[in-house]
């Protein structure tokens, strides 16, 4: 059957070509939520501006966000932007209503999972940078996450009204630190208290905001002021030169000496941006309401709609080597990715992005992971904490559903007539743990339910029971992460809990090759137990995890017992030899063994494999690994010596010291174990004038003195 050539259902409100799915991502405190608030105001979705510092921003709706002035959970909002016709200004979608779905993401590293899963389902992003600080550590992490998923970006240099703001330095930072091919399309006119507008480089016009309008909603298009004329012309020529190299159409016109028009350049920037070969840069100030409308125009002009990017690819559950496409078309079979779970008073909300087809309330969706069908009770359009029921959700749209129960983050939901599994987002390993227990026996069951719900929502929040002590251990991305989750247990689930001191999530690995042999022989009158396994272990490269290979020949271990052996190997990795922490990054060859025709069983071979792994560990040079963090401290020059001395005391390796606007920026790598309480210490060292950011970097071997302390404290595992 031939599908209609038009990918849009006649029932949808906004066609795919007039839809934009974008995220707003950046380092903490770069101004993401303030920018989102301005976008909602200028698109008419809200009629009063909220502020982060007042605790009334639309997308910071959780109590914890309002109290702390930070974003904790990514919030989805939808708005409509119409490009207004203006004399002397060319706009690619002039006069059209464009539906913009926005996800405002957290900037704090502890909530990096929110950024990861949002970028996985978005078509484009606004990367926000501070005009004073430029590229900060979490900016780099966000940029790498966007690179991983191939998300095209527009860069917004925010806070150009602040003392020390330097637009050109921030653009150079993008090129140097992020290797971004970044070129200004809207240059701020003035800076600090003199910020008054923007130069539109492509149209060679100035947008000047009226001083008497604090909301920045009125401005005039004027000729470029004399002092900016040279800068504007140089910026336009630089873009032309870039596009001659990057874009085939512009290159051909240049070689054939044809006129290259403003429209040609804009369309070429759009193509190059969508191909991730060009990053348009916009300067302004969200807080001072200068530059947001033209940033929205840039989003519409340069960032892709769902039809502009390649169709999502997945695999056939029946044949994992076979690749399938989820074609962006309302008439195709339904396929969506569940990227976030959230529990509220109405039940479990499953946030999803539709890649092909459409879904209506009352329909059934199929989950290839569970091989089960479930009915969709409600479909909801999310506006931060407000919910609007909708009848149908189409290709390229983001919404939430209620009614499906057995769903986890990363599940594909599809039509059973065309099964496929999309690639789920990947998440980092937790780096910090603590024991938690209910204050009263009555809280015990409620705590178990709360922890289950929270771990369903957050893939970086792991709950397990310590087999030796029976304690419940929670693990996450940092102290703030666990503190927020504990606070949510109290507020949302009414569970009072006591938490122990945070513990580092150490790992163990091996440094050499070793052979191990394990036997389980039990005779107790009647059927016995017999399993015998010989294996070899060797180190793998860092971050590779566990790899295995079956090298058994001649049926020494019968085929039906190979999988139980592999299960035993994986189980043995849960507890290392040094201090009982999980073992990582090694390769295991299953070599040999023997079986008994009556007494051998799956359980016997699983246990024999565990014994063989422990035997190999004894001779493989087990060592302890600890999480090491990338730390960046910004402080006034006079405190630099004290800050560096304190970092050295914490086993830090200083990698660089830079000077920016009478501030010292110290970059170092520091073991996480040494960073507890650092926020308090740095405040007292600098009289409250320094700040820092911290990101997980990698795992590194622990010095022997620290290993000795840990094994003394917790005892060796064996």
**195: three-class secondary structure by DSSP:** coil
Instruction: Give the pLDDT mean for 694-701.
Output: 83
pLDDT at site 349: 82
First to last CA, the chain: 66
The answer, yes or no, to whether residue 303 has pLDDT greater than 60, is yes
Query: Where in the chain are the domains?
Result: 16-308, 312-422, 436-505, 508-620, 626-714
Grade residue 365 by pLDDT with cuts at 50, 70 and 90: very high
Give the C-alpha separation, 632 to 649, whole Å: 16
- pLDDT value at 709 more than 80: no
Q: Which CATH architecture has domain 312-422?
A: Beta Barrel (2.40)
State the Cα–Cα distance between residues 451 and 456, nearest whole angstrom. 8
Greatest mean pLDDT among 107-111, 203-207, 215-219 = 203-207
pLDDT tens, position by position, 650-669: 999 999 898 876 788 899 99
Helix then strand then coil, in percent of the chain rounded to 5, is 30, 35, 35
Q: How confident is the model at residue 4 (pLDDT cuts 50, 70, 90)?
A: very low
* 86 pLDDT higher than 60: yes
Q: What is the largest CA-CA distance in the chain?
A: 100
- The per-residue pLDDT for 437 is 86
Across 485-508, average pLDDT: 82
pLDDT given at position 718: 40
Q: Answer for the pair 648, 538: CB distance below 8 angstroms, yes or no.
A: no
129-156: average pLDDT = 87
Residue pLDDT, tens place only, 217-273: 688 889 999 889 999 999 999 999 999 999 999 999 999 989 999 999 999 999 999
pLDDT for 159 equals 92
Phi-psi region of 532 (alpha: psi -120 to 50; beta: other; left: phi over 0): beta
**What is the CATH number that goes with domain 436-505?**
3.30.70.870
Give the pLDDT confidence score for residue 166 in this predicted structure. Answer: 92
Provide the token pair at 410.
Answer: 């990363």
Nearest to 630 by CA among 138, 111, 284, 220: 138
Sequence-separated (6 or more) residues with CB below 8 Å from residue 607: 518, 520, 529, 531, 568
Q: Does domain 508-620 have CATH number 3.30.230.10?
A: yes
Domains 508-620 and 626-714 share a fold: no
* Nearest residue to 297 (alpha-carbon basis) of 604, 20, 602, 703: 20
Answer whether residue 61 shows pLDDT above 50.
Answer: no
- Tell me which of 47-61, 476-490, 651-665, 686-700 is least confident: 47-61
Given a cut of 90, is residue 517 above it in pLDDT?
A: yes
**pLDDT for res 213:** 56
- Going by pLDDT thresholds of 50, 70 and 90, the confidence category of residue 47 is low
What topology is assigned to 626-714 in CATH? Alpha-Beta Plaits (3.30.70)
Query: What pLDDT, on a 0 to 100 scale, did the predictor assign at position 72?
Result: 58
Query: Would you say 459 and 149 are in contact if contact means Cβ atoms under 8 Å apart?
Result: no
Could you give the count of Cα atoms lying within 13 Å of 218 in the half-sphere of its Cβ?
Answer: 5
Say if residue 59's pLDDT is above 60.
no
Give the model's pLDDT for residue 109: 64
What is the band of 180 on the pLDDT scale with cuts at 50, 70, 90?
A: very high
Mean pLDDT computed over 491-516: 85
What's the residue count for the chain? 718
Global pTM?
0.73
Q: How confident is the model at residue 465 (pLDDT cuts 50, 70, 90)?
A: confident
Helix count and strand count (H, E) for the chain = 16, 37
Is the pLDDT at 60 greater than 50? The verdict is no
| pLDDT reading at 56 higher than 50 | no
Cα separations in angstroms, 652 against 381, 520, 601, 640 = 48, 47, 51, 15
> What average pLDDT does this structure show over 617-636?
89
Of 382 and 463, which is predicted with more confidence? Answer: 463
- Quick: pLDDT tens for 384-418: 556 788 899 999 888 888 888 888 888 899 998 88
225: Cα within 13 Å, side-chain hemisphere: 13
Give the pLDDT band of residue 108 (cuts 50, 70, 90).
low
* Span of 9-13, 215-219, 462-466, 619-623 with lowest mean pLDDT: 215-219
What is the pLDDT, as a whole number, of residue 385? 59
What is the torsion angle, in degrees rounded to the nearest 10, for the CA atoms of residue 633, residue 125, residue 328 and residue 94?
Answer: 180
16-308 belongs to which CATH class?
Answer: alpha beta
């Amino acid at each position: 059957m031939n599908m209609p050539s038009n990918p849009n259902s006649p029932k949808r409100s906004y066609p795919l070509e007039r839809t934009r799915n974008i995220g707003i991502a950046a380092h903490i405190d770069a101004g993401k939520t303030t920018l989102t608030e301005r976008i909602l105001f200028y698109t008419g979705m809200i009629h009063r501006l909220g502020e982060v510092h007042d605790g009334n921003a639309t997308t910071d709706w959780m109590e914890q966000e309002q109290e702390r002035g930070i974003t904790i959970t990514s919030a989805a909002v939808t708005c409509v932007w119409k490009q207004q016709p203006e004399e002397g200004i060319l706009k690619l979608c002039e006069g059209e209503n464009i539906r913009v779905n926005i996800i405002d993401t957290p900037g704090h590293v502890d909530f990096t999972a929110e950024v990861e899963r949002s970028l996985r389902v978005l078509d484009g992003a606004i990367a926000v940078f501070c005009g004073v600080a430029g590229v900060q550590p979490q900016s780099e992490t966000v940029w790498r996450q966007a690179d991983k998923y191939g998300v095209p970006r527009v860069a917004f240099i925010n806070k150009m009204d602040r003392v020390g703001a330097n637009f050109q330095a921030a653009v150079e930072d993008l090129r140097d630190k992020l290797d971004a091919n970044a070129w200004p399309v809207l240059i701020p006119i003035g800076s600090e208290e003199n910020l008054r507008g923007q130069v539109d480089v492509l149209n060679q016009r100035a947008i000047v905001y009226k001083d008497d309008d604090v909301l920045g909603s009125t401005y005039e298009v004027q000729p470029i002021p004399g002092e900016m004329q040279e800068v504007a012309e140089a910026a336009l020529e630089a873009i032309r030169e870039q596009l001659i190299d990057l874009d085939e159409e512009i290159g051909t016109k240049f070689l054939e000496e044809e006129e290259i028009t403003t429209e040609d350049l804009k369309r070429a920037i759009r193509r190059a941006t969508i191909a991730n070969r060009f990053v348009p840069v916009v300067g302004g100030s969200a807080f001072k309401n200068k530059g947001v409308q033209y940033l929205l125009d840039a989003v519409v002009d340069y960032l892709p709609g769902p039809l502009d990017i390649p169709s999502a690819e997945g695999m056939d559950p029946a044949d994992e080597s076979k690749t399938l496409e989820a074609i962006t078309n309302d008439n195709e079979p339904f396929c969506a990715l569940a990227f976030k779970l959230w529990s509220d008073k109405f039940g479990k909300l499953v946030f999803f992005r539709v890649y092909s087809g459409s879904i209506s309330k009352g329909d059934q969706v199929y989950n290839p992971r569970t091989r089960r069908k479930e009915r969709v009770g409600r479909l909801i359009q999310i506006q931060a904490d407000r919910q609007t029921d909708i009848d149908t959700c189409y290709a390229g749209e983001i919404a939430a559903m209620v009614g499906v129960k057995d769903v986890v983050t990363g599940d594909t939901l599809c039509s059973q007539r065309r099964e496929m599994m999309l690639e789920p987002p990947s998440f980092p390993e937790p780096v910090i743990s603590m024991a938690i227990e209910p204050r009263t026996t009555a809280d015990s069951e409620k705590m178990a339910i709360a922890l289950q719900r929270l771990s369903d929502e957050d893939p970086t929040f792991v709950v397990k029971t310590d087999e030796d002590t029976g304690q419940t251990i929670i693990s996450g991305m940092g102290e703030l992460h666990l503190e927020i989750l504990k606070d949510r247990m109290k507020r949302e689930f009414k569970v009072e809990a006591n938490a122990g001191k945070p513990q580092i999530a150490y790992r163990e690995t091996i440094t050499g090759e070793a052979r191990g042999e394990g036997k389980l022989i039990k005779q107790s009158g009647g059927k016995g137990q017999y399993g015998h396994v010989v294996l070899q272990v060797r180190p793998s490269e860092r971050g590779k995890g566990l790899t295995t290979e079956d090298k058994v020949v001649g049926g020494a271990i019968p085929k039906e017992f190979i999988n139980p052996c592999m299960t035993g190997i994986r189980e043995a990795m849960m507890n290392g030899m040094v201090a009982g922490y999980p073992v990582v990054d090694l390769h295991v060859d299953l070599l040999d063994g023997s079986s008994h025709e009556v007494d051998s069983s799956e359980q016997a071979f699983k246990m024999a494999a565990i014994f063989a792994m422990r035997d190999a560990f004894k001779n493989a040079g087990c060592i302890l690994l600890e999480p090491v963090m990338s730390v960046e401290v910004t402080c006034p020059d006079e405190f630099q010596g004290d800050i560096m001395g304190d970092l050295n005391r914490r086993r830090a390796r200083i990698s660089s010291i830079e000077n920016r606007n009478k501030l010292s920026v110290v970059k170092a790598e520091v073991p996480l174990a040494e960073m507890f309480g650092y926020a308090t210490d740095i405040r007292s060292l600098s009289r409250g004038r320094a700040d820092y950011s911290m990101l997980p970097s990698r795992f590194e071997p622990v010095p022997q003195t620290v290993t000795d302390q840990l094994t003394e404290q917790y005892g060796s595992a064996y």
